[in-house]
């Protein structure tokens, strides 16, 4: 491993880590805020398992983290390591488009995917959380929802990121546009003062209706799983659903009641690859998680550790391998229920070797063509990239988008989850008197019929939130995930490589300087791309920046902590079984151990 720059002093916890690692043997919870993490830990103290704790934390975050563009009108990538069965479980947590949403209709009527109600999807997070709770949890909905309900009904202190986010010009302007949103987020016409209580009584009412439906089902003699289903039905089939659909109709949306009532979050088999003795799992291709798996397959052919951490050679290889994976993302990756995604071929080690052969260690091309995995060809024959919109100026990443949480219990069950509600505050709206802030993930769709991610009725957009669970020799090793839109696979790669290839501890791995590239169409409409654009945090040496420029990268230094992800990974020591976790100082991430 290379010696870090002397311009960045050692922290008290390690070379990079200025925050302490968290430790535990009986449980651990990481979340986007202190109260989010404590909501999960409270469930572990009550005897719940990792799924119970994760669902509680995710529900609480849906009340407290609109600053992360996450609400209970959003979506979630959710993985669970089932210790008893030795298997990783997955659920589909992305909502779908209305049955009336077709590419032809959008092209003929609007010529684009407009911001606002026409770029929304049916909320998926409630369905996914309750599916996992029903199948793999041990507690009732009322137990795991208690913290969220309390925070909505009684309020929670307005923390710095929430205060800043609501008061930012784009969010403020959007909230003022919708009276229902302004009533909730701008009491007295202004953002809440720092430290004041943020109360959401209408959201509390929605959660209370779900709790009451579960209670009535249990009183009627129904079992735990049926009672949880009764709580879910309030949201998707009951009065709450009808009020949400009415609000959407009034705003000009395309939804019908059936779009909500028929929505499901099925269980699925996750996909995975191996890397130097580790097995990395992620959800299927309704997320972009496969990009990390493909990138690792490509990088497995290099000895990154010998090149040195954040050396020009190592960074260049990481960036270029990611570009190759993202090129395939745009050609092949979409909702597997609507698009024939060649997952097995994309994750083939032989295919990775073919793609690796395109990587020039001495030069960064502006772009790569996708490959042809089914034909085992490195480059797809005759591929013509879609035209993207003109680029008047660079627009950076979604700095406040998404959140992340992780849990592990005393038995070794483990959850990794990435909840989100894209552009909730900057484009979204509260739906009537339900308190539900709706996502705008539908702007991730394309209108090109040849694109795997083209909009279609009841189709799920390929979402950027992705989450990972890593096993080593068949045993749980770590959770992995972060906020950050298109940067998520990039930053997850760096944190993972930092530990596996460069020997960092988990907190060092999280705090080490990062990069983020933009040499591919960005997920949100209008899908702009910025060839060879590479943001690098300024805690690296000038020599690294100069060397990367010489290789053809268009470098922009973004300050010491400018790639603003929010990691909270949990790692298991395979020899002792001790849990240790890290928390990202770029956000308000918190890790608690017990």
The two beta strands, 554-557 and 533-536, are parallel
| pLDDT attached to residue 564 | 85
Dist. CA 405–CA 20, nearest whole Å: 18
**pLDDT attached to residue 26:** 96
Residue 105: exposed, middle, or buried by beta-carbon count in 10 A (0-12, 13-18, 19+)?
A: middle
Say what the pLDDT of residue 424 is: 87
What are the tokens at 189?
A: 């016409």
d(CA 188, CA 182): 9
Nearest one of 127, 160, 135 to 58, comparing CA atoms: 127
- The pLDDT tens digits along the chain (594 residues) read 344 444 445 666 677 778 899 999 999 999 999 999 999 999 999 999 999 999 999 999 999 998 767 899 999 999 999 999 999 999 999 999 999 999 999 999 999 999 999 999 999 999 999 999 999 999 999 999 999 999 999 999 999 888 888 989 989 999 999 999 999 999 989 998 999 999 999 999 999 999 999 999 999 999 999 999 999 999 999 999 999 999 999 999 999 999 999 999 999 999 999 999 999 999 999 999 999 999 999 999 999 999 999 999 999 999 999 999 999 999 999 999 999 999 999 999 999 999 999 999 999 999 999 999 999 999 998 876 655 444 545 444 444 468 999 999 999 999 999 999 988 899 899 999 999 999 999 999 999 999 999 999 999 999 999 999 999 999 999 999 999 999 999 999 999 999 999 999 999 999 999 999 999 999 999 999 999 999 999 999 999 999 999 999 999 999 999 998 999 999 999 889 999 999 999 988 999 999
Residue among 33, 124, 119 nearest 71 (CA): 124
Q: Can you give the pLDDT at residue 68?
A: 66
Query: What DSSP character marks residue 31?
Result: E
The partner residues of 22 in beta bridges, in order of sequence, read 581
Question: Which is nearest to 455 in space by CA: 98, 99, 113, 102?
Answer: 102
Q: Are strands 197-198 and 267-268 parallel, antiparallel or unpaired?
A: unpaired
Write out the DSSP string of 309-341. Answer: TT-HHHHHHHHHHHHHHHHHHHHH-S-TTTS--
The CA radius of gyration of the chain, in Å to the nearest whole number, is 23
Euclidean distance between CA atoms 339 and 436, whole angstroms: 30
Pairing relationship of beta strands 267-268 and 271-275 according to DSSP bridges = unpaired
Residue 493: closest CA among 505, 507, 509, 477:
509
d(CA 580, CA 24): 6
The pair of three-digit structure tokens given for residue 563, joined into one six-digit string: 């790639």
Which letter, b or e, does each residue of 242-260 get, where b requires 16 or more Cβ atoms within 10 Å of its Cβ? ebbbebbeebebbbeeebb
Segment holding 162, helix H or strand E: helix 160-167
What pLDDT, on a 0 to 100 scale, did the predictor assign at position 11? 65
Which helix (H) or strand (E) segment holds residue 29: the answer is: strand 27-31
- Alpha helices by DSSP H, listed for 220-269, are 224-236, 239-250, 257-261
Q: What is the pLDDT of residue 9?
A: 54
pLDDT of residue 188: 87
| Residue 210: exposure state from Cβ atoms within 10 A (0-12, 13-18, ≥19) | buried
Judge if pTM exceeds 0.85. Answer: yes
User: Are the C-beta atoms of residues 298 and 352 closer than 8 Å to each other?
Assistant: yes
pLDDT at 161: 85
Tokens representing 514 are: 């990062």
Exposure b/e, 281-300, CB count within 10 A at least 16 = b: bbbbbbbbbbbbbbbbbbbb
Contact 201, 149 (CB under 8 A): no
d(CA 47, CA 192): 36
CA distance 61 to 187: 21
Residue burial 546-560, b: 16+ Cβ < 10 Å; e: rest: ebbeebbbbbbebee
Total number of residues shown for the chain: 594
């Amino acid at each position: 491993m290379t010696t870090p720059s002397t311009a960045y002093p050692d922290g008290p916890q390690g070379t990079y880590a200025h925050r302490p690692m968290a430790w535990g043997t009986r449980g651990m919870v990481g979340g986007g805020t202190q109260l989010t993490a404590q909501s999960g830990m409270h469930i572990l103290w009550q005897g719940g398992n990792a799924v119970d704790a994760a669902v509680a934390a995710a529900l609480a975050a849906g009340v407290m983290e609109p600053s992360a563009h996450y609400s209970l009108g959003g979506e979630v990538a959710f993985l669970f390591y089932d210790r008893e069965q030795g298997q990783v479980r997955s659920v589909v947590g992305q909502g779908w488009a209305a049955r009336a949403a077709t590419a032809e209709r959008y092209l003929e009527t609007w010529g684009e995917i407009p911001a606002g109600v026409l770029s929304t999807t049916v909320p998926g997070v409630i369905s996914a959380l309750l599916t996992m709770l029903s199948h793999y949890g041990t507690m009732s909905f009322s137990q795991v929802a208690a913290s969220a309900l309390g925070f909505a009904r009684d309020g929670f202190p307005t923390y710095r990121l929430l205060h800043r986010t609501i008061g930012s010009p784009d969010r403020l302007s959007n909230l003022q546009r919708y009276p229902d949103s302004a009533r909730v987020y701008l009491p007295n016409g202004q953002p809440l003062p720092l430290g004041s209580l943020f109360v959401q009584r209408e959201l509390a009412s929605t959660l209370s209706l779900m709790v009451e439906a579960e209670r009535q089902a249990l009183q009627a003699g129904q079992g735990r799983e049926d009672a949880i289903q009764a709580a879910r039905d309030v949201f998707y089939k009951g009065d709450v659903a009808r009020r949400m659909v009415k609000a959407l109709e009034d705003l000009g949306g395309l939804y019908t009641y059936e779009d909500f009532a028929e929505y499901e979050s099925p269980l699925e088999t996750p996909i995975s690859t191996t890397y130097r003795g580790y097995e990395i799992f992620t959800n299927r291709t309704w997320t972009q998680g496969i990009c990390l798996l493909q990138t690792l397959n490509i990088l497995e052919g290099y000895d990154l550790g010998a090149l040195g951490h954040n050396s020009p050679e190592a960074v260049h290889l990481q960036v270029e391998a990611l570009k190759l994976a993202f090129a395939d993302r745009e050609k092949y990756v979409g909702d597997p229920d609507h698009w024939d995604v060649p997952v097995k071929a994309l994750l083939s080690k032989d295919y990775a070797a073919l793609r690796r052969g395109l990587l020039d260690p001495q030069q960064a091309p502006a772009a790569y063509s996708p490959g042809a995995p089914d034909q085992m060809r490195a480059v797809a024959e005759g591929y013509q990239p879609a035209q993207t919109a003109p680029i008047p100026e660079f627009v950076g990443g979604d700095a406040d988008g998404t959140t992340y949480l992780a849990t592990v219990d005393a038995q070794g069950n483990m959850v990794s989850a990435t909840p989100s509600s894209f552009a909730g505050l900057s484009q979204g709206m509260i739906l009537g008197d339900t308190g539900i802030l709706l996502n705008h993930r539908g702007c991730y769709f394309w209108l090109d019929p040849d694109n795997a991610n083209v909009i279609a009725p009841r189709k799920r957009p390929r979402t950027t939130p992705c989450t990972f669970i890593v096993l080593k020799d068949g045993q749980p090793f770590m959770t992995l995930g972060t906020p950050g839109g298109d940067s998520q696979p990039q930053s997850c790669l760096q944190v993972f490589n930092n530990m596996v290839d460069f020997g960092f501890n988990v907190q060092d791995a999280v705090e080490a300087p990062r990069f983020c590239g933009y040499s591919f169409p960005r997920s949100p409409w209008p899908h702009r791309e910025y060839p060879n654009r590479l943001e690098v945090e300024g805690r690296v040496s000038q020599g690294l920046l100069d060397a990367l420029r010489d290789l053809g990268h268009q470098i922009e230094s973004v300050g010491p902590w400018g790639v603003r992800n929010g990691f909270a990974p949990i790692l298991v020591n395979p020899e002792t079984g001790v849990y240790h976790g890290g928390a990202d100082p770029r956000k308000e991430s918190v890790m608690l151990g017990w």
